[in-house]
Amino acid sequence: MLTGPVVRALATDGSLTPSMAAHIMVAVLQGLQLHGQHEANQGSLITLGAQVYECLRPKFPNIIEVMQQIPGVNPADLQRFDEKMSVVSTKGNKVEKGKKDLFKKITNQVYDCNIQKMFIYPD
């Protein structure tokens, strides 16, 4: 619950580097891999992942590279997600649900593979 606001504060005050931003995104994906089989955890982690991506993507374009490393990720889905995240929400929860649904679709493969072998941290 606290991770989203903390990441937003760090991104706002300029404390993050591209490497740190990538590591945060990987940590969220690792959480999905470890705890995503439980519906309550999955919902919270999907929401967190979408929030983190939305917060970090404008300042850290390398975040999309982390997402591209998910095995079996559909590039068209990832591009749609990236475009949807760049649009300012005007319809309230409906757009947010769409963003979360796309994030869930993109990260669905995370539950079935060893995430530690998936990602290479940029320096």
Neighbour tally for 112: CB within 10 Å: 10
Per-residue pLDDT reduced to its tens digit, 20-79: 999 999 999 999 988 888 888 888 999 999 999 999 999 999 999 999 998 889 999 999
Structure token pair of residue 115 = 């995430």
Contact 37, 73 (CB under 8 A): no
In a domain, 118, yes or no: no
Range of the domain at 36: 3-113
In a domain, 119, yes or no: no
Whole-number mean pLDDT of the chain?
A: 84
In a domain, 70, yes or no: yes
In a domain, 25, yes or no: yes
Structure token pair of residue 37 = 């089989």
Cα–Cα nearest to 63, from 105, 92, 106, 114: 106
pLDDT at 112: 52
Spatial separation of the C-alpha atoms in residues 18 and 84, rounded to whole Å: 22
How many distinct structural domains can be found in the chain? 1
In a domain, 83, yes or no: yes
In a domain, 44, yes or no: yes
pLDDT at 119: 58
In a domain, 120, yes or no: no
In a domain, 122, yes or no: no
- In sequence order, the 6+-apart residues with CB closer than 8 A to the CB of 55 are 4, 7, 8, 11
